[in-house]
């Protein structure tokens, strides 16, 4: 059916544009705010047009602003965020693809139970189990360490579930052909399952990198050493100043910069995505 | 090259369901065996037990004189062609062919040589750098066969390899499989539910039903002397007519009609009578015949199938298209072309010798 109703087209576009504005406006305001000086921001309504302090604000946040709040360098915090996000991404994918492999391809006692236990953890976000998790991490002496920052966030039901669903669509004959061809379980995993999962891994990389990048509550709890501060924590700390003026223009500049890595990941991985989608494997 | 000996092999699933029960087949070196039967008859299960993809519940499978019950598929020296080809989708055709050899640590030069040879044989040389998804169904089928050939195994196992192809391609691939098998002389087991495929490919047919062997024999043997009503109705198209009859001395009563048997009666009493559609003919005026009420016809071009009833029993006859039809006809059959089966067991009655004892021998064409 070919639709040719100008009014409907107008209406759908109007909704689309409205929705876009609602989503994009805060980001726009943040970008605009990062180009003004502090007195403009403090003196009344938030300006909607860019100001003239762009270079000044961004060079300040990149060089000295964080230190003034007792924080490590911006680049140091960015590196921390990057390490944490990457560790979570890689760790989650590695763990979940292996556990999905075990659940789908091996027969062992309580296999289904194991799957359901993993699945049930989906119902419990990090925040709900944050107390017991903190207790365990503290007892294991993992406070203020990379292990403490990342490991509790690595065990992932979502990714395991996704890989399980994908593996179940892989025809059994492929496994059988590989067996006849002399491939053992790990060889089959490496030579056949892993290349076939490329698209899924790509998609999960994007989702998990962003998940790791925006972690706030957990790093806040387990790290007291500023050496481990991540960008999200740093930005928050810059907002909580006692007896002073919040340097909103710097906070906004820092936030805008912090948005860049996830955007880059999405843009870069999207090309992999589309390639994975157009070159269907079956 | 090797024979395969399957002795008393059973597959019993948890819960006691017997998918295959006590099947024994001796396959000599270089023989092409076709396992044929309706879905669920256990033919694929049997093949997969030979391949090592299913555990053998009871009995013994020997390949080249070696018991392989506990041996991994890769170590059994067999190659398998799957129904959906099971090509590795992310690998090029070359890598698909080479994968099994690589896993065995075959030297690179030999892999190249073997892949090139198989590709030439199957005429897929120009596709070696393509991925499976860039190939048509027939080409994929060839690659799947190539993957089996490069390994130079003791036996090929085919699991309904042609059922995903269209009818025309199926016929040509059928010829190709036969030619290739003759040329390589490799022992083969081929599973199909298509009786035509089974007839055309097999050196010997194994007809399976409900996990048990109904009959083993050369295609024409099975066709001309089916061991049971099941085989009679399964092999041959159109299916053999099976009607209830009564033997009175040397006469056979089918419904209202009587047929003289001229000494071919194997027993007396009630029997199931089988007769091939092509063995029925329009009766001459002066002979005993069955009154046939025509219901409908099917044109096959070379033949015309006429469907109708004799008494209250369905009969199909194959006649020449030139013969004039009328609603009520008289059809006749030579007594020696009749097959008699027991009413109770469905087995062929002893003393019912196959009519076509003398068949022109077919010289194997290489």
Instruction: Return the CATH number at A75.
Output: 1.10.3720.10
CB A163 within 8 A of CB A119: no
Backbone angles phi, psi at B41, to 5 degrees: -85, -5
CB contact under 8 A, B86 and A196: no
Interface test with A, best of B45, B52, B53 (most A CBs within 10 A): B53
Residue spans per domain, chain B = 4-229, 238-341
- Per-residue pLDDT, averaged over B298-316, amounts to 91
Domain count, chain A: 1
Among candidates B51, B88, B90 on the partner chain, residue whose Cβ is nearest the Cβ of A180: B51
Counting every residue written for chain A, the total comes to 282
Q: Please name which of A174, A178, A127 lies closest in space to residue A153, comparing C-alpha atoms.
A: A127
A72 occurs within a structural domain: yes
**What sign has the CA pseudo-torsion A26, A28, A34, A38?**
negative
Instruction: At B173, list the tokens.
Output: 């691939």
**d(C-alpha A219, C-alpha A84), whole Å:** 9
**d(C-alpha B283, C-alpha B123), whole Å:** 52
Q: Is the pLDDT of residue B340 over 50?
A: yes
CA distance B157 to chain A (A): 11
CA distance A278 to chain B (A): 12
What is the structure's pLDDT at A3? Answer: 66
Helix (H, G, I), strand (E, B) or coil at B268: coil
CA distances from A129 to A79, A85, A137, A219 (A): 27, 20, 12, 15
Q: Tokens 């944050």 identify what position?
A: A130
Q: What is the pLDDT along chain A (282 residues), one digit of tens a residue?
A: 566 788 888 999 999 999 999 999 989 988 888 888 888 877 777 788 888 888 888 888 888 777 777 788 888 899 999 999 999 999 999 999 999 999 999 988 888 898 888 888 777 777 788 888 899 999 999 899 999 989 888 877 888 888 999 999 999 999 999 999 999 899 999 999 999 998 888 888 888 999 999 988 888 888 888 888 888 888 888 887 766 778 888 888 888 999 999 999 888 887 776 665 555 544
Q: Per-residue DSSP letters for B145-208?
A: HHHHHTT--SEEEEESTTTTS-HHHHHHHHHHHHHHHHHHT-EEEEEES-HHHHHHH-SEEEEE
Among candidates A181, A191, A196 on the partner chain, residue whose Cβ is nearest the Cβ of B89: A196
CB contact under 8 A, A179 and B73: yes
The structure's pTM equals: 0.81
Chain A residues within 8 A of B80 when measuring between CB atoms? 176-177, 180
What is the structure's pLDDT at B357? Answer: 47
Q: Please name which of A266, A282, A277, A127 lies closest in space to residue A207, comparing C-alpha atoms.
A: A266
- Sheet with B18-27: list strands edge to edge: B18-27, B4-12, B58-63, B66-67
What is the structure's pLDDT at B365? Answer: 47
A36 occurs within a structural domain: no
CB A179 within 8 A of CB B72: yes
What is the structure's pLDDT at B358? Answer: 47
**d(C-alpha B147, C-alpha B115), whole Å:** 9
CB A36 within 8 A of CB A47: yes
Among candidates A173, A195, A196 on the partner chain, residue whose Cβ is nearest the Cβ of B82: A173
A205 occurs within a structural domain: yes
Task: Check whether the bond before B238 is cis (ω within 30° of 0).
Answer: yes
Interface test with B, best of A169, A182, A280 (most B CBs within 10 A): A182
CA distance A263 to chain B (A): 29
**d(C-alpha B147, C-alpha B163), whole Å:** 18
What is the structure's pLDDT at B50? Answer: 94
Instruction: At B40, list the tokens.
Output: 């669920």
What is the structure's pLDDT at B355? Answer: 52
* Greatest CA separation for chain A: 76
A187 occurs within a structural domain: yes
Task: List all residues 6 or more positions away from A241 whose beta carbon is below 8 Å from its beta carbon.
Answer: A69
CB contact under 8 A, B73 and A180: yes
Counting one residue from chain A and one from chain B, the pairs whose CB atoms sit within 8 A come to: 65
What is the structure's pLDDT at B366? Answer: 44
Q: Is the pLDDT of residue B324 over 90?
A: no
- Per-residue pLDDT, averaged over B73-85, amounts to 91
Backbone angles phi, psi at A73, to 5 degrees: -55, 150
Backbone angles phi, psi at B226, to 5 degrees: -60, 135
CB B286 within 8 A of CB B265: no
Chain A residues within 8 A of B73 when measuring between CB atoms? 176, 179-180
Percent of chain B with pLDDT over 90: 62
Strand runs labelled E in chain B: 4-12, 18-27, 32-36, 58-63, 66-67, 78-81, 155-159, 187-192, 204-209, 212-217, 241-248, 251-254, 257-260, 269-275, 280-282, 290-299, 304-310, 313-319, 328-333, 339-341
Q: Please name which of B59, B57, B47 lies closest in space to residue B188, comparing C-alpha atoms.
A: B47
Structural domain span for residue A116: 67-278
Q: Which residue of A has its CA nearest to B85?
A: A173
What is the structure's pLDDT at A93? Answer: 93
A239 occurs within a structural domain: yes
- Per-residue pLDDT, averaged over B241-250, amounts to 88
More confident residue, B42 or B362: B42
Question: Could you report the per-residue pLDDT of B153-163, keeping only the tens digit for each?
Answer: 999 999 999 98
HEC profile for B318-342? Answer: EECCCCCCCCEEEEEECHHHCEEEC
Q: Please name which of B10, B362, B7, B42 lies closest in space to residue B202, comparing C-alpha atoms.
A: B362
CB B69 within 8 A of CB B6: no
Per the DSSP assignment, residues forming a β-bridge with B4 are B27, B63
CB B1 within 8 A of CB B157: no
Q: Which one-letter DSSP state was computed for residue B134?
A: G
Among candidates A177, A195, A280 on the partner chain, residue whose Cβ is nearest the Cβ of B82: A177
Q: Is the pLDDT of residue B293 over 70?
A: yes
What is the structure's pLDDT at B67? Answer: 93
Chain B residues within 8 A of A178 when measuring between CB atoms? 88, 99
HSE toward the beta carbon, residue A249, CA cutoff 13 A: 22
Q: Please name which of A244, A245, A266 lies closest in space to residue A39, comparing C-alpha atoms.
A: A245
The CA angle B25-B30-B32, to the nearest 5 degrees, is 60
CB B191 within 8 A of CB B213: no
CB contact under 8 A, A183 and B89: no
**d(C-alpha B67, C-alpha B61), whole Å:** 6
What is the structure's pLDDT at A281? Answer: 46
**d(C-alpha A142, C-alpha A88), whole Å:** 16
Backbone angles phi, psi at A111, to 5 degrees: -60, -45
Distance from chain centroid for Cα A183: 35
- Per-residue pLDDT, averaged over B78-99, amounts to 93
Task: List all residues 6 or more positions away from A254 whose beta carbon is below 8 Å from its beta carbon.
Answer: A61, A65, A66, A74, A231, A234, A235, A238
Our CA dihedral for A65, A70, A73, A79, rounded to 10 degrees, sits at -130
Packed helices A198-213 and A146-154: angle between N→C axes, nearest 10 degrees:
130
- Per-residue pLDDT, averaged over B320-341, amounts to 88
Mean pLDDT of all residues belonging to chain B: 89
What is the structure's pLDDT at B361? Answer: 53
Question: Could you report the per-residue pLDDT of B7-54, keeping only the tens digit for each?
Answer: 999 999 888 888 999 999 999 999 999 999 999 899 999 999 999 999
Chain A residues within 8 A of B89 when measuring between CB atoms? 196, 281-282
Distance from chain centroid for Cα A190: 26
Question: Could you report the per-residue pLDDT of B127-175, keeping only the tens digit for each?
Answer: 999 999 999 988 999 999 999 999 899 999 999 999 888 888 889 889 9
Fold of B4-229: Rossmann fold (3.40.50)
**d(C-alpha A272, C-alpha A259), whole Å:** 21
Q: CATH classification of B238-341 is 3.40.50.970, yes or no?
A: no
Question: Could you report the per-residue pLDDT of A194-234, keeping only the tens digit for each?
Answer: 999 988 888 888 889 999 999 888 888 888 888 888 888 88
Q: Which one-letter DSSP state was computed for residue B277?
A: G
What is the structure's pLDDT at A273? Answer: 66
**d(C-alpha B240, C-alpha B282), whole Å:** 17
- Per-residue pLDDT, averaged over B264-269, amounts to 77
CA distance A197 to chain B (A): 10
Chain A residues within 8 A of B104 when measuring between CB atoms? 182
């Amino acid at each position: 059916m070919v639709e040719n109703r100008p009014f409907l087209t107008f209406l759908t576009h109007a909704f689309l544009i409205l929705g876009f504005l609602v989503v994009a406006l805060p980001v726009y305001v943040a970008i605009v705010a990062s180009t003004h000086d502090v007195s403009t921001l403090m003196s009344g309504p938030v300006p909607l047009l860019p100001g003239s302090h762009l270079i000044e604000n961004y060079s300040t946040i990149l060089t000295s602003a964080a230190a003034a709040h007792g924080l490590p360098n911006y680049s140091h915090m960015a590196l921390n965020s990057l390490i944490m996000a990457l560790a979570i991404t890689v760790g989650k994918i590695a763990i979940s693809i292996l556990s999905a492999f075990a659940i789908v391809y091996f027969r062992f006692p309580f296999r289904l139970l194991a799957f359901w236990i993993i699945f049930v953890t989906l119902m419990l976000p990090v925040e709900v189990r944050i107390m017991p998790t903190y207790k365990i991490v503290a007892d294991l002496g993992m406070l203020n360490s990379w292990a403490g920052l990342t490991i509790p966030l690595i065990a992932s039901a979502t990714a395991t579930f996704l890989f399980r669903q994908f593996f179940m669509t892989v025809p059994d004959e492929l496994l059988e052909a590989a067996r006849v061809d002399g491939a053992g379980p790990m060889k089959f995993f490496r030579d056949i399952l892993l290349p076939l999962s490329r698209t899924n891994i790509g998609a999960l990389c994007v989702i998990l990198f962003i998940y790791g990048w925006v972690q706030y509550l957990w790093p806040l709890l387990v790290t007291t050493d500023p050496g481990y501060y991540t960008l999200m924590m740093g930005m928050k700390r810059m907002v909580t100043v006692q007896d002073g003026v919040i340097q909103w223009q710097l906070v906004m500049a820092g936030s805008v910069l912090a948005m860049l890595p996830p955007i880059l990941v999405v843009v870069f991985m999207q090309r992999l995505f589309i390639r994975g989608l157009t070159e269907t494997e079956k | 090259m090797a024979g395969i000996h399957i002795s008393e092999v059973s597959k019993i699933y948890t819960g006691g369901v017997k998918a295959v029960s006590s099947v024994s087949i001796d396959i000599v070196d270089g023989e092409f065996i076709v396992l044929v039967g309706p879905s669920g008859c256990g033919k694929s299960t049997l093949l997969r037990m030979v391949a090592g993809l299913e555990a053998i519940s009871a009995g013994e499978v020997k390949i080249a004189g070696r018991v392989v019950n506990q041996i991994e598929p890769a170590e059994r020296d067999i190659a398998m062609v799957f129904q959906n080809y099971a090509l590795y989708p992310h690998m090029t055709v070359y890598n698909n062919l080479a994968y099994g050899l690589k896993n065995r640590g075959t030297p690179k030069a030999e892999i190249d040589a073997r892949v090139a040879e198989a590709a030439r044989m199957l005429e897929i040389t120009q596709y070696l750098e393509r991925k499976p998804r860039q190939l048509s169904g027939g080409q994929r089928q060839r690659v799947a066969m190539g993957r089996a050939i490069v390994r130079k195994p003791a036996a090929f196992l085919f699991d309904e390899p042609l059922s995903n192809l269209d009818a025309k391609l199926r016929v040509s691939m059928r010829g190709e499989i036969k030619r290739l098998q003759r040329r390589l002389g490799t022992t083969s087991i081929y599973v199909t539910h298509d009786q035509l495929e089974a007839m055309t490919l097999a050196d010997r047919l194994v007809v399976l039903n409900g996990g048990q062997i109904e009959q083993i024999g050369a295609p024409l043997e099975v066709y001309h002397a089916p061991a049971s009503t099941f085989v009679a109705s399964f092999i041959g198209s159109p299916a053999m007519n099976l009607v209830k009859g009564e033997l009175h001395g040397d006469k056979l009563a089918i419904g209202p009609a009587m047929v003289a048997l001229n000494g071919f009666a194997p027993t007396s009493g009630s029997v199931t009578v089988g007769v091939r559609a092509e063995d029925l003919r329009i009766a001459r005026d002066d002979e005993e015949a069955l009154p046939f009420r025509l219901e409908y016809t099917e044109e096959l071009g070379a033949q015309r199938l006429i469907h109708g009833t004799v008494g209250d029993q369905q009969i199909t006859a194959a006649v020449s298209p030139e013969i004039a039809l009328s609603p009520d006809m008289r059809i006749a059959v030579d007594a020696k072309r009749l097959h008699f089966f027991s009413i109770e067991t469905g087995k062929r009655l002893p003393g019912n010798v196959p009519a076509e004892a003398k068949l022109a021998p077919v010289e194997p064409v290489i």
